[in-house]
């Protein structure tokens, strides 16, 4: 036992003291954050792209004023302009495109065209379509000569946003968000995939290093090969857990900082901005809270999301993540160790890697599908079968999984990883001392049955 | 008394015999040469002694009782292919191996300091292994092998890669360790060092022991009827009758003559005849080198 801990110690310390580990540990959360933040920034900066669109109605005047200007879209109604003439010159005139509405519109809804040099963003198109649709609906309704139509329309108008709530066995209702669950499933599944792969192949490289440098011969004259293998696997697992814990702490710290600074700042500035407006507009008294929500619906949504994120079963998620990381990693790392022991150099690993990679990749793909449909039978089976369950189950848990499924999956996982470690140890024991022979699957099968 | 004994050890890989009923006996506080051509089964035997692999049949004894797993602590093994972690620092690495052999960190540190000073390696302590030359790496490995003061030391080609100066340093250390009570199994192709160091040998060929015993006895056995005589001054002897001169050299006013004599002659007769030819300085049966014996034994067997 003492010797295993000596080996674990070496494996752990040599890796943790490497520069690449330190850089990776600090940089990864920042990169992750960048991965989330940068697209958001890019998207919001894109929205700032100001577009002027020329609207030409042929022989009608139905839509004048029905397309309201937004922050990024300005509609200019042009009269007495020929479409074909403008087609050549609209860019020079500073227009992004021409919205051409033909006179046949009410009868044939296809008669609207947006002419532009670039593919217009989907959001802008949707905005225009919605506005025009509403206007056409209104026009069509007006054709029925209903009294007080305007008032009725105002009454009818409504805005729907579904709030999801999850009810647990004790009848407690919690606000949840499918978006948050999806994000967690995505991050959890992907992280698990990365960790298992990254640290699994580190084990393999370590074994190959020891075999090619013949260190292994010196060590197995002092300790049993299984001890060396387990020492290496556990040492690297601890490296992984260390990294994972640092990531959690960093994330908590970053979230904490974001929550305390950004939120506070924004609230204050929002209030500061809205109060003067309010003073000028004394007819509409409103509470400060409402003001904030009115002034910035995004902000209130953000805090709602925050709340629902807090309502996720964090204890279960973190526990099962660590459980599946340890067992899944042990399973794959021992296979990787066996492969490493069977080859003479890293290029020879290819033929053995493929069958090991397939279940991992499959698991990742199923996990991604799980986010769309957590209850599909494919997701269910893959979250029970041990080779794929670490990744798929982690992706399923944020959506809620019956306890018996988790227990079954975990039990199968434990049994399987013990079996895999046992088999891998047998292959490893023979493999590390074999040199210069091309190893085949058949050969490895034979090693499994060697006694001494 | 034999410190280590292997009795009727057999090991098969598939249908191929790596060792076929091999027995060796290594007397305590001696240096035992384990010889044999490439692929003869030496490495397999060494691995079995180290308990890296187990024999299919046969028994192993250390100190008169059966070899046990914990005996690896009293065995030191220097493999033929040197193995050190390239990226690890020399000192850390030596400490690691010492701890794997059961030494406490403090004790390992104390002994390492002693050996690193003795072999003039103290400057290497903080260097990475990959920065050292091959010979330097071997010296490090030699120290890690002997650090836990094993009773049985197994050295597989300990001199390969060393310059003559360092070869001599290591030879002296081996002899020094024997003086202090260690028993050494030396596997090597360097027959010169076998003659110089080994008390006993076993020659393995094609999985079987084909020659074993004391080095001196073996050389006498294979001596045949060759003699070497040195005369003062320029002397020649005539190859008359059954005296057959093989070689004559004249150097520093001395004549060295190698000759073969007939079977029925004994040394007294030869010597009395020689005295008549000139002033004899020395007279010896010409012992064949271990190299010759090795080649002759292996070739006749093949």
- Cβ-contact A305, A174 below 8 angstroms: no
In chain A, residues with a C-beta closer than 8 Å to the C-beta of B88 are 14
Tens digit of each residue's pLDDT (9 = 90 or more) over B84-137: 888 889 999 999 999 988 889 999 999 999 999 998 899 999 999 989 888 888
- Cβ-contact A165, A173 below 8 angstroms: yes
- Measured CA to CA, the distance from residue A137 to residue A129 in angstroms comes to 12
Express as a percent the part of chain B with pLDDT over 70. 98
Parse chain A into domains and list their residue ranges.
48-146, 175-259+294-449
- Give the A:B interface size as CB pairs under 8 Å: 63
Among A13, A19, A221, the residue to mutate for chain B (most B Cβ within 10 A): A221
How close does chain B come to A356, measured CA to CA in Å?
A: 28
Interface contact A218-B83, CB threshold 8 A: yes
Q: What is the CATH number of domain A48-146?
A: 3.40.190.10
Residue of A nearest to B142 (CA): A218
Express as a percent the part of chain A with pLDDT over 70. 78
Q: Closest CB to B100: pick one of A3, A14, A433.
A: A3
Alpha helix stretches (DSSP H) within A76-166: 83-89, 122-142, 149-156
In chain B, residues with a C-beta closer than 8 Å to the C-beta of A10 are 96
Interface contact A213-B86, CB threshold 8 A: yes
Alpha-carbon dihedral A72, A75, A81, A82, rounded to 10 degrees: 60
In chain B, residues with a C-beta closer than 8 Å to the C-beta of A223 are 100
The structure tokens listed for A407 are 């227990």
The pLDDT of residue B26: 93
Alpha-carbon dihedral A263, A266, A272, A274, rounded to 10 degrees: -100
Q: Is B36 on the interface with A (CB under 8 A)?
A: no
- Report the mean per-residue pLDDT for chain A: 78
> Beta-carbon neighbour count of residue A29 at 10 Å?
17
Tens digit of each residue's pLDDT (9 = 90 or more) over A229-242: 999 999 999 998 88
Residues recorded for chain B: 302
- Cβ-contact B151, B123 below 8 angstroms: no
Q: What is the pTM of this model?
A: 0.71
The pLDDT of residue A286: 44
- Cβ-contact A209, A10 below 8 angstroms: no
Closest CA to B183 of B26, B61, B52: B26
Lowest mean pLDDT among A163-167, B93-97, B213-217: A163-167
How close does chain B come to A450, measured CA to CA in Å?
A: 10
Among A210, A214, A222, the residue to mutate for chain B (most B Cβ within 10 A): A222
Which comes out higher in pLDDT, residue A290 or B112?
Answer: B112
- Cβ-contact B181, B29 below 8 angstroms: yes
> Beta-carbon neighbour count of residue B168 at 10 Å?
12
In chain A, residues with a C-beta closer than 8 Å to the C-beta of B75 are 221
Looking at residues B56-76, what average pLDDT do you find?
89
Reduced 3-state DSSP string for B32-62: EEEECCCCCCHHHHHHHHCCCCCCCEEEEEE
Interface contact B72-A213, CB threshold 8 A: no
Q: Closest CB to B50: pick one of A214, A216, A221.
A: A221
In chain B, residues with a C-beta closer than 8 Å to the C-beta of A217 are 52, 77, 79, 81, 83
Looking at residues A14-35, what average pLDDT do you find?
82
- Name the DSSP class of A118: S
Q: Is A222 on the interface with B (CB under 8 A)?
A: yes
Interface contact B83-A210, CB threshold 8 A: yes
Tens digit of each residue's pLDDT (9 = 90 or more) over A187-229: 888 888 888 888 888 899 999 988 888 888 888 888 888 889 9
Tens digit of each residue's pLDDT (9 = 90 or more) over B228-267: 889 888 888 776 667 778 888 888 888 888 888 776 677 7
The structure tokens listed for A336 are 């990787």
**How would residue A283 be classed by pLDDT, with cut points 50, 70 and 90?**
very low
Looking at residues A147-176, what average pLDDT do you find?
68
Interface contact A7-B75, CB threshold 8 A: no
How close does chain B come to A208, measured CA to CA in Å?
A: 12
């Amino acid at each position: 036992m003492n010797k295993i801990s000596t080996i674990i110690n070496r494996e752990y310390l040599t890796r943790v003291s490497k520069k690449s580990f330190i850089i990776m540990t600090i940089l990864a959360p920042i990169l992750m954050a960048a991965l989330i933040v940068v697209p958001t920034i890019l998207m919001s900066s894109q929205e700032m792209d100001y577009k002027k669109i020329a609207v030409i109605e042929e022989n009608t005047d139905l839509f004048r004023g029905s397309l309201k200007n937004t922050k990024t879209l300005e509609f200019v109604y042009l009269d007495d302009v020929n479409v074909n003439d403008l087609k050549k010159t609209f860019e020079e005139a500073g227009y992004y495109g021409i919205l051409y509405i033909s006179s046949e519109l009410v009868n044939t809804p296809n008669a609207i065209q947006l002419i532009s040099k670039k593919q217009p963003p989907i959001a802008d198109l949707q905005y225009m379509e919605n506005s025009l649709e509403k206007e056409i609906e209104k026009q069509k309704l007006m054709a029925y000569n209903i009294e007080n139509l305007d008032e009725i329309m105002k009454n009818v108008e409504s805005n729907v946003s579904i709030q999801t709530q999850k009810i647990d066995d004790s009848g407690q209702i919690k606000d949840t968000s499918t978006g948050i669950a999806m994000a967690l499933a995505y991050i959890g599944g992907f992280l698990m995939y990365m960790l298992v792969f990254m640290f699994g192949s580190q084990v393999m490289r370590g074994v190959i290093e020891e075999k090619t440098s013949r260190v292994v011969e010196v060590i197995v004259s002092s300790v049993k090969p299984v001890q060396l293998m387990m020492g290496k696997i556990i040492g690297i697992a601890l490296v992984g857990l260390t990294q994972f814990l640092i990531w959690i702490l960093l994330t908590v710290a970053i979230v904490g900082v974001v929550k305390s600074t950004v939120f506070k700042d924004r609230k204050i500035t929002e209030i500061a901005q809205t109060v003067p407006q309010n003073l000028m507009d004394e007819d509409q008294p409103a509470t400060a809270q409402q003001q904030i929500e009115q002034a910035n619906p995004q902000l209130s949504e953000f805090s709602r999301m925050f709340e629902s994120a807090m309502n996720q079963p964090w204890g279960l998620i973190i526990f099962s993540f660590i459980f599946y990381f340890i067992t899944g990693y042990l399973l794959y790392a021992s296979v990787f160790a066996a492969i490493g022991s069977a080859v003479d150099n890293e290029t020879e690993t290819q033929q053995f890697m493929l069958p090991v990679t397939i279940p991992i990749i499959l698991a990742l793909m199923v996990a991604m599908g799980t986010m769309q449909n957590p209850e599909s039978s494919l997701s269910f089976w893959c979250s029970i079968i041990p080779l794929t369950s670490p990744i798929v189950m982690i992706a399923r848990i944020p959506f809620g999984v019956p306890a018996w499924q988790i227990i079954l999956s975990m039990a199968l996982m434990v049994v399987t990883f013990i079996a895999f470690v046992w088999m891998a140890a047998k292959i490893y024991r023979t493999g590390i001392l074999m040199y210069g022979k091309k190893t085949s699957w058949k050969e490895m099968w034979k090693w499994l049955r060697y006694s001494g | 008394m034999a410190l280590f004994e292997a009795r009727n050890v057999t090991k098969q890989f598939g249908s191929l015999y790596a060792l076929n009923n091999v027995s060796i006996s290594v007397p305590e506080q001696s240096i035992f040469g384990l010889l044999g051509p490439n692929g003869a089964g030496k490495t397999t035997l060494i691995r079995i002694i180290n308990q890296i692999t187990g024999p299919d049949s046969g028994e192993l004894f250390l100190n008169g009782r059966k070899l046990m797993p914990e005996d690896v602590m009293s065995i030191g093994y220097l493999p033929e292919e040197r193995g050190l972690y390239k990226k690890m620092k020399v000192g850390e690495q030596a400490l690691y191996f010492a701890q794997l052999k059961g030494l406490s960190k403090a004790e390992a540190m104390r002994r390492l300091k002693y050996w690193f000073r003795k072999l003039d390696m103290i400057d290497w302590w903080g260097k990475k292994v990959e920065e050292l030359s091959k010979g330097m790496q071997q010296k490090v490995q030699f120290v890690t092998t002997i650090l836990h003061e094993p009773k049985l030391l197994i050295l597989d080609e300990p001199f390969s890669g060393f310059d003559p100066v360092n070869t001599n340093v290591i030879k002296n250390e081996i002899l020094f360790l024997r003086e202090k009570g260690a028993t050494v199994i030396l596997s090597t192709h360097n027959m010169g060092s076998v003659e110089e160091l080994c008390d006993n040998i076993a020659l393995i060929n094609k999985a079987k022991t084909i020659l074993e015993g004391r080095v001196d006895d073996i050389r006498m056995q294979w001596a045949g009827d060759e003699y070497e005589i040195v005369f003062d001054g320029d002397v020649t002897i005539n190859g008359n009758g059954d005296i057959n001169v093989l070689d004559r050299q004249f150097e520093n006013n001395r004549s060295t003559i190698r000759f073969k004599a007939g079977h029925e002659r004994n040394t007294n007769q030869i010597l009395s005849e020689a005295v008549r030819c000139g002033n004899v300085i020395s007279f010896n049966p010409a012992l064949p080198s271990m190299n010759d014996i090795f080649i002759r034994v292996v070739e006749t067997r093949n």
